[in-house]
Amino acid sequence: MALIEVDALSTLFPSGEGDLRAVDGLSFAVQPGETVAIVGESGSGKSVTVMSIMRLLGAATRHEGAVRFEGRDLLALSEAEMRKVRGNRIGMIFQEPMTALNPVQTIGSQIAESLRLHRGLSRRDSRARALEMLSLVGIPAPERRIDEYPHQLSGGMRQRVMIAMALACDPALLIADEPTTALDVTVQAQILDLIREQARKLGAGVILITHDLGVVAELADRVIVVYAGRKVEEGTAAEILDRPRHPYTRGLLEATPRLRGGGGHRAGRMTEIPGNVPGLAEILAGCAFEPRCAHAQPCCRIERPPEVPVAQDHLVVCRRAEPVS
């Protein structure tokens, strides 16, 4: 059974010009122990998707669809029940380690907080466990570091602290929203290794958001390619990277040439496809990528494209793809 199943999720931000649909009928699942990457250009709704799963978007936001996790629909839980899921069953790592930690609390107390909250540990036990977590994520001299404040740590160290916080309660699912984008290139690989290693040890599923196809190649079992809040292609990492079918996915891959050449993991940002992501207020009857697509046909504009299985573990949401026989 899937660890988490996102079923036709839509996220709507009410606004003056009607609802802004940042996520539009997105479906995917993560199996236990599996790492699923969500990739797409900036503004395609990756962060909003995971924030919706965690219900971090504020009271005005509306959701449609369901997020089934451990037998319950997270979107239907009460706020109090949802709090027991956050930080406990689902851990989250954010992009900016510089601002995501509280500047006036020691890193030890920030790690210990969720342990006291979810595990009911005493002050002393939670501190002992926080110390354990710090050495687990590779912080040198943890006995000293535990009483330090975030500003005393480098960006890479802070991201390690974030990981320690997210993993402190042994979550079943780890969500990492561009965990290395803000870090030095030399540190990025270490942090990715750490996430992979710890998730494997816990047997946790991982949802990894990234701009970086090098990261996908290295870490992901499966890939969801999103565009304008919709899924356009899904498949195993090998399928997507080696045999991309959707014109958008191909564009993304062509925009990161070094990946194909092998060797370089440091892929560029995916902003090189001509044209722009449509505004959220635009109503798109057909394929969202149609205005930028070199292969578009008149029918693409009129009707939403179907999900077409093109290989085992590979489907593409495009009218122009030929299905497997």
Partner 1 sequence: MIGYALRRTLLAIPVMGVVAVIVFSLLYFAPGDPALVIAGDTASAEDIARIRHSLHLDQDPAVRFASWVWQLLHGDFGTSIYSGEPVLHLIGQRAGATVGLMLLATLFAVTIGITLGILAARRKGGAWDRLLAGYGTLGFSLPPFVMAYILAFVFASTLHWLPVQGFQPISAGPGPFLRTAILPALSLGIVFSALIANVTRAAMIEAMGQDYVRTAIAKGVGERTILFRHALKNAAIPIVTVIGSGVPVLIGGTVVVEGIFVVPGIGGLMVDAILHRDYPVIQAVVLLSSLVYVLTNLIIDLSYTLLDPRIRY
Ligand X SMILES: Nc1ncnc2c1ncn2[C@@H]1O[C@H](COP(=O)(O)OP(=O)(O)OP(=O)(O)O)[C@@H](O)[C@H]1O
The residue within the footprint of Mg ion, chosen from 47, 52, 188, 256 (CB under 5 A), is 47
The residue within the footprint of partner 1, chosen from 62, 84, 123, 269 (CB under 8 A), is 84
Q: Edge-to-edge strand order for the sheet containing 173-177?
A: 90-93, 173-177, 205-210, 35-39, 222-227, 230-236, 314-317, 307-311
Q: Are strands 314-317 and 307-311 parallel, antiparallel or unpaired?
A: antiparallel
How many CA atoms lie within 13 Å of 3's alpha carbon, on the beta-carbon side?
A: 20
Partner in contact with 151, chosen from ligand X, Mg ion, partner 1, none, beta carbon below 5 to 8 Å by kind = partner 1
The string of DSSP codes covering 97-139 is: TTTSS-TTS-HHHHHHHHHHHHH---HHHHHHHHHHHHHHTT-
Partner in contact with 100, chosen from partner 1, Mg ion, ligand X, none, beta carbon below 5 to 8 Å by kind = partner 1
- 280 is a site residue for ligand X (CB under 6 A): yes
How many other C-beta atoms can be found within 10 angstroms of the C-beta atom of residue 128?
A: 14
- 47 is a site residue for partner 1 (CB under 8 A): no
The residue within the footprint of ligand X, chosen from 3, 6, 28, 45 (CB under 6 A), is 45
- 256 is a site residue for ligand X (CB under 6 A): no
Partner in contact with 45, chosen from ligand X, partner 1, Mg ion, none, beta carbon below 5 to 8 Å by kind = ligand X
- 52 is a site residue for Mg ion (CB under 5 A): no
The answer to whether the beta carbons of residues 219 and 230 sit under 8 Å apart is no
> To which residue do tokens 């194909």 refer?
260
Residue 263, helix vs strand vs coil:
coil
The residue within the footprint of partner 1, chosen from 6, 26, 69, 94 (CB under 8 A), is 94
The answer to whether the beta carbons of residues 230 and 24 sit under 8 Å apart is yes
Residue 286, helix vs strand vs coil:
coil
- Which residue's CB is nearer to Mg ion, number 39 or number 115? 39
Q: What is the smallest separation between the CB atom of 51 and partner 1, expressed in angstroms?
A: 9
Q: Is 232 exposed, middle or buried (0-12, 13-18, 19+ CB in 10 A)?
A: buried
Q: What is the smallest separation between the CB atom of 80 and partner 1, expressed in angstroms?
A: 8
Candidate ranges 39-47, 68-76, 232-240, 303-311; the one touching ligand X (CB under 6 A): 39-47
Q: What is the smallest separation between the CB atom of 49 and ligand X, expressed in angstroms?
A: 7
Size of the site for partner 1 (CB under 8 A): 26
Rounded distance, CA 115 to CA 313, Å?
Answer: 38
Nearest CA-CA partner of 39 in 178, 278, 228, 211: 211
Backbone angles phi and psi of 205, in degrees to 5: -80, 155
The residue within the footprint of ligand X, chosen from 3, 12, 20, 93 (CB under 6 A), is 20
Q: What is the smallest separation between the CB atom of 204 and partner 1, expressed in angstroms?
A: 16
- 251 is a site residue for ligand X (CB under 6 A): no
How far from each other are the two terminal CA atoms of the chain, in whole angstroms?
28
Residues of this chain, 140-169, that bind partner 1 according to CB under 8 A: 149, 151, 162, 165
Give the binding site for partner 1 (CB under 8 A).
54, 56, 83-88, 92, 94, 96, 99-105, 113-114, 117-118, 149, 151, 162, 165
Give the binding site for ligand X (CB under 6 A).
13, 20, 22, 40, 42-48, 211, 280
Give the binding site for Mg ion (CB under 5 A).
47
